[in-house]
Amino acid sequence: MTSPGELDPLVRELIYIAVSVTNGCEYCIASHTAAASAKGMSETMFGELMVIAVTANMTNCLANGYRIPIDEKF
């Protein structure tokens, strides 16, 4: 997606990185990490992104494995 939108270009690249890490696509991880760095991503931001992506994957797997029902408030 290259058209303008509500999300800032750096945020778009961060999302691409997180999804690429989740899917294990080395090419996409490399290309979007380079693009995000060019748009201002710091090493600290990259580290925080990795923690969030890995934590989300882990909790998603646990919730799916335990078949936790969706809370009515959601």
CA distances in angstroms from 11 to 2, 15, 22, 56, 72, listed in the order given: 13, 6, 17, 17, 30
Give domain status of residue 14, yes or no.
yes
Say which CATH number the domain at 30 has: 1.20.1290.10
Which residue range(s) make up the domain with 38? 9-65
For residue 15, which of 2, 33, 3 has the smallest C-alpha distance?
A: 33
Give domain status of residue 33, yes or no: yes
* pLDDT at residue number 61: 95
Count of structural domains, the chain: 1
Q: Is residue 70 one of the residues assigned to a domain?
A: no
What is d(CA 30, CA 18) in angstroms, rounded to the nearest whole number? 12
Residue 73 lies in a domain: no
pLDDT for 67 equals 96
pLDDT per residue, tens digit, the chain (74 aa), is: 567 899 999 999 999 999 999 999 999 999 999 999 999 999 999 999 999 999 999 999 999 999 999 999 99
Selection from 22, 8, 23, 28 nearest residue 52 by Cα:
22
What is residue 2's predicted lDDT score, i.e. its pLDDT? 62
Of 73, 8, 74, give the one whose Cα is nearest residue 36: 8
Which pTM does this prediction carry? 0.85
